[in-house]
Amino acid sequence: MKIVGHCATPYLHTNGSWIYSQLCRLRRYRPVVLTQEAQNLAQFPVGRLHTAQDYPFLKRAGNRLWLKLTGEYPFYGQILSAEGACLIHAHFGYQGCRCLRARRQSGLPMLTTFYGADATQFARLDYWRRFYQRLFAEGEAFLVEGNALARCLEEAGCPPAKIRLHHLGVDLERIPFGERVRAERVRFLICAPFREKKGIPDALRAIGLAWRRRPFAFEVVLIGDGPERLNILTAIREAGLEDRVVLRGSLPYSEVLAELGRCHLLLQTSRRAANGDTEGGGPVILLDAQAAGLPVVATHHADIPEYVRDGESGLLAAEGDVEGVADCILQLVEAPERWAGMGRAGRRHVEEHYNAATQAARLEEIYDEFT
C-alpha cells in the first residue's frame, strides 16, 4: 500500500473532523501524520504519527531554531523518506510553505489543500505572500473546496492550471437523518468558533428581530467559544435573548451531532471580517446539518451557495443583512410544513456531492496522478 505523509499542525483540533475524514477513509493509500503538536488523538486516531513533541531535547531545539530562521520544518524530509512515503499532502497553505524543505529533501511531489483564511487573510501579509509564491512555483497541485476559494488562490498568484476543485466530505454513517416536524418551540442551532467571520451576532440579532416582528416560542443552542465571546454576549443581551440562549461552549463532534438531532433549524451567517478573514469554501457544519435533515439559513458568502441550495435545502440572505436573515427565519418558522422536504433535499445534496467515502476515493484519484 502506498504511503502519503499528511502534514497538519496541530493534529488535530476538536473541530478537525473535516481533515480527519480525508485520512480515515483512504483505502489504497496509508496515511502517516507529521505534526509539531499532537492533540485529541483519542478522538482522531491514526496508525502512524510523528510529532516534534517526541524529538530528543537537542533535536527539538534545532527544530525550533531552524523553523524560526527559515520558516520551514527541518526534519520532515528524513521522516518521509524513512517511512517510504510517495507523496506529501499539506493541510493549509502555511503548512505547505513549511514543508517545502521536506519536498526538496525527499524529492516527493506535494499537494496542498487550502481551507480559508490561509488563502484570504494570510495571502495579504507580506511574509506569507512571498512564501506563497515559492509554494505555488514548487508545489504540484493545490486543492480547494469551491470556486470562490479557487478565485482567491488565483488572485494570490497561483497558476490556474495547478488548482483542483475537491469537495470536503462528511461521514454519513455517523449522521442519522430525521425529518423535522412542527414543534411547540423552535430550536435554533448556531455552531461555530467565536470569530468575527462567523457572523454570530448577526444571527442573534436576526432571531431577536424576527421574534419582535411576529412572536413565537423558541430556544437558541449556541455551540462554540473564542475571541469574539464578549461581542456575542453583548449581542445576546441587546437582542433580548438572555433567557433563550443556551451556551454549550466548545463540544466534541459526537456531541455536536447529538445537538443536530435535537434542533430544527441551523443558522450560519458568515461574513467578511474587518481584517479580511473569510470562510474558505463553507463551514462544514452546513454539510452536517443538511445530512441530518435540518433546513439552513445562511448567507451568500464564499462557497456557501455551493454548500446550500438556496430555496431547496435552505434559504440564503446577503452577508451582513440582519433584516434579510430575519425574513428567512420567519419564512421557515411560519411554514414548518417545508422543513421535511428541505431536509430531504439537503441530505440528497450531501450524499451526491459531499459524501466522505466518495470524496476519499476522488482524493485517491488525485494522488494517483502524482505517484
**Superfamily the domain 173-353 falls into:** Glycogen Phosphorylase B; (3.40.50.2000)
Region of 240 on the Ramachandran plot (φ > 0 left; ψ -120 to 50 alpha; else beta)? left
pLDDT band at 270 (very low <50, low <70, confident <90, very high): very high
pLDDT band at 281 (very low <50, low <70, confident <90, very high): confident
> What average pLDDT does this structure show over 71-96?
98
**pLDDT at position 72 over 80:** yes
**25's grid cell:** 477513509
Predicted local confidence at residue 14, as pLDDT: 83
2-169+355-370 matches 173-353 in fold: yes
The span from the first CA to the last CA of the chain, in angstroms, equals 12
Enter the CATH code of domain 2-169+355-370: 3.40.50.2000
Per-residue pLDDT tens digits for 105-122: 999 999 999 998 899 889
> What average pLDDT does this structure show over 177-182?
96
Predicted local confidence at residue 116, as pLDDT: 86
Q: For residues 115 and 92, is the Cβ–Cβ distance under 8 A?
A: yes
> What average pLDDT does this structure show over 326-349?
98
Contacts of 352 (CB under 8 A, 6+ apart): none
> What average pLDDT does this structure show over 137-152?
96
Compute the distance between CA of residue 196 and CA of residue 60 in angstroms, rounded to an integer. 35
Predicted local confidence at residue 261, as pLDDT: 97
> What average pLDDT does this structure show over 160-168?
96
- Residue owning grid cell 496508525: 47
- Residue owning grid cell 421574534: 211
Instruction: Please state the separation of Cα 46 from the chain's center in Å.
Output: 20
Predicted local confidence at residue 231, as pLDDT: 98
> What average pLDDT does this structure show over 238-242?
97
**pLDDT at position 280 over 80:** no
> What average pLDDT does this structure show over 178-200?
97
DSSP E strands, 213-256: 218-223, 245-249
Q: For residues 299 and 329, is the Cβ–Cβ distance under 8 A?
A: no
Beta-sheet strand order (sheet of 296-300) = 245-249, 218-223, 186-191, 265-268, 296-300, 314-318
Per-residue pLDDT tens digits for 298-317: 999 999 999 999 999 999 99
Q: What are phi and psi of 299, to 5 degrees?
A: -120, 155
Predicted local confidence at residue 3, as pLDDT: 98
Predicted local confidence at residue 16, as pLDDT: 86
**pLDDT at position 17 over 90:** no
> What average pLDDT does this structure show over 243-272?
96
**236's grid cell:** 445576546
**pLDDT at position 332 over 80:** yes
Predicted local confidence at residue 18, as pLDDT: 84
Calculate the average pLDDT of the chain. 96
Domain ranges of the chain: 2-169+355-370, 173-353
Predicted local confidence at residue 15, as pLDDT: 80
pLDDT band at 359 (very low <50, low <70, confident <90, very high): very high
Predicted local confidence at residue 45, as pLDDT: 96
Nearest alpha carbon to residue 216 among 262, 263, 183, 248 = 183
Predicted local confidence at residue 137, as pLDDT: 98
> What average pLDDT does this structure show over 86-109?
98
